[in-house]
């Protein structure tokens, strides 16, 4: 049978590198290849901005259905401006026939790759990712968009320039609008999506809404927390039957230790209910319960907006309809204020409904802590006992031996140190941020907060904390080691770390020595520049480091090394600089006749450096 599309070029992603698509996107690097096409790193030639370019395979561009899916992904994703959804900026077809999608360029890895490498995630890491997925879904569902193909492969854990990690939802290619009257919506009876993460209603071809996505989030949570999928089947049909009919086992079956997180286990179980009416009804409700599942250890991801304060008046009415059985979680200020402008401190308690009674959301009960608040809230709330006045002080009975004083409880600063030494950065950060509200210039607290930020991947915030600490005293060796390691990060982080290392002076020497042993020439150049700024007190062989880089195969590195030697002003570099300045590339023809001779790359910079040293 003859090829129906003989003019379509074969799909060779490598052949597109170096090409300019649609006269705007210069393709610089092939990143990945998938079933529908390939993803490239490209640069917008007019805006000089890097993007990720998703290019559809040419043999698929002949399918009107797939082209429409590709266009739909662009339209839907472009309409969802949210921190936890990948941003799509352009869609088009080049004159050569290539269909493409331009989106923000992300650096990091997918949740699938993370789980394949690490097996499973500890509860605090898993909850942070799941919370961000729900945050993105909340925005999508508010626009009437149901993703329908969520899976670990479509959740990307991106590293920002500041060093923090952000979860991004990808691939809205088979998303649908929740409005059933929408023209072109997928017909009821069709099964679309990935079988491992389909909701029961998708598996049976029934109508879907946002609750289908929440079932999938429950399965992703199950996979992330246990290291495996809850169902195992030999073929897709059997898997679809399991998704439609078989209950998802509790998390504690493969991971009994998760019984220490009962609210998290309950939240995942509720998300995985087969009946949509028994699941979470909104992504916001699931997001809130995920946050509560870690109690005080949960911290909102950077940039997230906290939920409004609870209203004790509305909760009082709802509390009267809920069963008893509460878990103490902490205290928050009430809203609105009590008469006279006062705010009561209220105990936040999580009420867990009896098994299978998930049609209503978990309810927060509040109990007033200030005198007089109970009368305002009514008999539906339990009044917190008022503190009793201290007993009168009397003289000690001489016949009774003095009682030993109880050991002092550890203060918050000691607790923060303990958390950091045990690798628990999040609770340490919460304690230190609270302490610094009272003592914003305490150098020890600032140093420890910098360590907490750095352990959580927020390099710029860590550097800012250390900069404030350094204004009051020297940094410790661990902070200097972190700052030196930040020289290997992107330029914004490295440039911010440099002045702190220079200010540290000779104390930064050991940390810089470790970076000079790096295999990356870029890191070596940055470490040498810092050592050069500090001066001879740092006791590092800066001259030898630059001279070694003069022979680097990368021309830009040779140029930078020559400039560094000129700034170093050490005349011992003159012989090597003169040698490099005289190096030439000769092109000879027949019988060895010289046709062309020109300086090698980096020779002019070496000559300029030699001239500056000779004049010094």
Residue 574 in contact with residue 610, Cβ under 8 Å? yes
Q: Is the dihedral of CA 473, 478, 484, 485 positive or negative?
A: negative
SS3 588: strand
**Secondary structure (DSSP) of 86-109:** PPEEEEEE-TTS-EEEEE----EE
> From the candidates 83, 149, 213, 289, which is the catalytic residue?
149
How crowded is residue 214: how many other Cβ atoms within 10 Å of its Cβ? 27
Using CA atoms, how far apart are residues 227 and 221, in angstroms rounded to an integer?
10
Considering only CA atoms, which of 490, 512, 513, 516 is closest in space to residue 500? 512
Residue 558 in contact with residue 580, Cβ under 8 Å? yes
SS (H, E, C) 326-375: EEEEEEEECECCCCCCCCCEEEEEEECCCCCCCCCCCEEEEEECCCCHHH
Using CA atoms, how far apart are residues 507 and 449, in angstroms rounded to an integer?
21
Using CA atoms, how far apart are residues 210 and 201, in angstroms rounded to an integer?
11
Catalytic residue check, 567: no
Residue 331 in contact with residue 345, Cβ under 8 Å? yes
- Across the beta sheet with 345-351, what order do the strands follow? 326-333, 345-351, 363-368
The CA-to-CA distance between both ends of the chain, in Å, stands at 79
Using CA atoms, how far apart are residues 466 and 459, in angstroms rounded to an integer?
10
Residues with catalytic annotation? 149
């Amino acid at each position: 049978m003859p090829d129906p599309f003989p003019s379509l070029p074969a799909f060779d992603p490598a052949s597109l590198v170096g090409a300019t698509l649609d006269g705007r996107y210069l393709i610089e690097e092939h990143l990945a290849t998938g079933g529908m096409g390939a993803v490239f790193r490209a640069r917008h030639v007019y805006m000089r901005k890097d993007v990720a370019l998703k290019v559809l395979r040419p043999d698929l561009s002949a399918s009107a259905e797939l082209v429409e899916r590709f266009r739909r992904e662009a339209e839907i994703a472009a309409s969802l401006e949210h921190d936890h959804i990948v941003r799509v900026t352009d869609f088009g077809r080049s004159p050569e026939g290539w269909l493409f999608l331009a989106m923000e360029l992300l650096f990091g890895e997918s949740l699938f790759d993370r789980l394949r490498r690490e097996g499973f995630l500890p509860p605090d890491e898993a909850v942070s990712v799941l919370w961000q997925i729900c945050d993105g879904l909340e925005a999508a569902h508010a626009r009437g968009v149901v993703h329908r193909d969520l899976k670990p492969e479509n959740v990307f854990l991106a590293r920002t320039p500041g060093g923090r990690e952000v979860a991004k939802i990808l691939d809205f290619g088979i998303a649908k609008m929740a409005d059933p009257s929408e023209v072109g919506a997928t017909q009821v009876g069709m099964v679309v999506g990935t079988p491992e993460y389909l909701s029961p209603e998708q598996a049976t071809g029934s109508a879907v809404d946002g609750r289908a996505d929440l079932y999938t989030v429950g399965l992703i949570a199950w996979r992330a927390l246990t290291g495996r999928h809850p169902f195992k089947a030999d073929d897709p049909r059997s898997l679809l039957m399991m998704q439609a009919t078989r209950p998802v086992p509790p998390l504690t079956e493969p991971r009994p230790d998760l019984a220490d997180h009962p609210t998290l286990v309950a939240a995942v179980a509720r998300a995985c209910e087969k009946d949509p009416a028994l699941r979470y009804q909104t992504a916001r409700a699931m997001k809130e319960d995920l946050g509560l599942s870690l109690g005080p250890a949960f911290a909102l991801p950077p940039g997230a907006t906290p939920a409004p304060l609870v209203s004790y008046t509305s909760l009082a009415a709802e509390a009267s309809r809920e069963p008893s059985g509460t878990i103490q979680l902490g205290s928050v200020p009430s809203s609105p204020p009590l008469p006279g402008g006062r705010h009561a401190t209220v105990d936040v308690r999580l009420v867990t409904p009896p098994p299978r009674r998930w049609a209503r959301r978990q309810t927060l009960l509040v109990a007033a802590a200030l005198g007089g608040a109970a009368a305002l809230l009514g008999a539906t709330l339990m009044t917190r006992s008022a503190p009793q006045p201290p007993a009168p002080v009397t003289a000690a009975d001489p016949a009774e031996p003095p009682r030993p004083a109880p050991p002092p409880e550890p203060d918050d600063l000691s607790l923060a140190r303990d958390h950091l030494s045990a690798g628990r950065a999040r609770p340490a950060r919460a304690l230190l941020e609270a302490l610094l509200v009272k003592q914003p210039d305490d150098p020890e607290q600032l140093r420890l907060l910098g360590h907490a930020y750095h352990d959580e991947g927020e390099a710029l915030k860590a550097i800012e904390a250390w900069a404030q600490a350094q204004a009051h005293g020297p940094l410790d060796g661990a902070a200097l080691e972190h700052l030196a390691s930040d020289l290997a990060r992107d330029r914004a982080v490295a440039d911010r770390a440099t002045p702190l290392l220079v200010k540290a002076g000779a104390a930064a020497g050991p940390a810089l020595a470790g970076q000079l042993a790096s295999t990356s020439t870029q890191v070596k150049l940055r470490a040498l520049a810092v050592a050069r700024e500090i001066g001879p007190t740092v006791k590092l062989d800066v001259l030898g480091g630059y001279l070694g880089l003069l022979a680097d195969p990368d021309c830009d590195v040779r140029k930078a090394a020559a400039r560094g030697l000129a700034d170093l002003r050490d005349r011992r570099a003159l012989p090597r600089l003169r040698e490099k300045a005289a190096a030439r590339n000769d092109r000879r023809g027949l019988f060895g006749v010289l046709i062309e001779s020109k300086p090698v790359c980096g020779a002019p910079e070496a000559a300029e450096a030699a001239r500056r040293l000779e004049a010094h």
